[in-house]
Amino acid sequence: MKKEFNWQEDHRYKNIDPLECPNRIRLLRFEKGWSSGELGRKMGIARPTVLDYERGRTNPGWNVINRLCEVFDVETGNLFWRKNEREAMLKERKRDKDG
């Protein structure tokens, strides 16, 4: 059985703010277990473009955002968390872990 992904316990994400769109793209990709090349193929874009989105060098347009949501099977809001949602998200994860 595959272990459930937990970005908070993974050392690779220690400095990632999950509330920023570029980081959300990266985290969603990691949750799926995809490389940047795999995401690019699913999106029909080049790997360097995926990396530019994840690093915040380039902002995806609405067509790309809609495609990301389709590929990741998430609502648009899941790519754009509001800053004040971080505490709520962390509390919920802690409650789920403890409960």
Residues in CB range of 98: below 8 A, 6 or more apart: none
Q: Which residues contact 23 (CB under 8 A, 6 or more apart)?
A: 16, 17, 54
Dist. CA 45–CA 1, nearest whole Å: 32
pLDDT 10s digits, 61-88: 888 888 998 999 888 777 776 555 666 7
pTM here is: 0.64
Separation CA 70–CA 48 (nearest Å): 20
Residue 35 in contact with residue 10, Cβ under 8 Å?
no
Structurally, at CATH architecture level, domain 13-98 sits in Orthogonal Bundle (1.10)
Identify the burial level of 13 via C-beta atoms within 10 angstroms of its C-beta, where 0-12 means exposed, 13-18 middle and 19 or more buried.
middle
Q: Per-residue pLDDT tens for 30-66? A: 889 999 999 999 999 999 999 999 988 888 888 888 8
